[in-house]
Amino acid sequence: MEPKADLVRRVINATMTILYESSLYGSSLWPKYGISVGAYPPLNRLGNHKMDCVCVGVRIDRDSSWQAIRFNIWGKTYGRAFKQYRQLFLLFDKAIHDAIFFEPVYPEITDRMPAHFHDESVMGMLSFKFTIQ
C-alpha cells in the first residue's frame, strides 16, 4: 500500500490527465478559470472567488476504506454548471487511468446536479469512488 500523500498525487495526476486529454478541454464548456486542486476557486484581485471554475479534491479515510475524488463545480448559472457536471460524469464514469478505476458515488443522479446556491453563484458537487486495480 502506497503512502497517502503519494496516492493523492497519483489520483490528482490521473484526474488531470483524463481532463486535459478529453474533448472537454478547450471546448466552450471548459471552465473559464480552469481546473484547480482544492475546494474553492481562486480569488480575483478584489478578493472574490472566480466563478466558472472546477475544483477537485481527494478524500481518503484513515483506514483507506473510503477513497473518492470530488468535483466542486463553481458557476454563475445552474445551467452551465449542470452541463459541466454532465461532461465530468461522462468522462469519469467507469474511467481507468494509471490503474485507477473511477465509478460514481451516486450513479443514479444523472438528470440533476446536487448543488448549493450562494448569492450570485452555484456550486455543484460530483463524487467518484476510486480503486487501484
Decide: residue 56, CB within 10 A, 0-12 exposed, 13-18 middle, 19+ buried: buried
pLDDT lower than 50: segments of the chain: none
Is this prediction's pTM over 0.85? Answer: yes
Q: Provide the b/e sequence for 93-113 (b: ≥16 CB within 10 Å).
A: eebebeebebebeeeeeeeeb
84 — phi, psi (to 5°)? -65, -40
Q: How far apart are the first and last CA of the chain?
A: 12
Q: What pLDDT shows up at residue 21?
A: 95
What's the DSSP call for residue 29? T
Kindly list the domain boundaries of the chain, sorted by start residue. Answer: 4-132
Classify domain 4-132 by CATH number: 3.30.2000
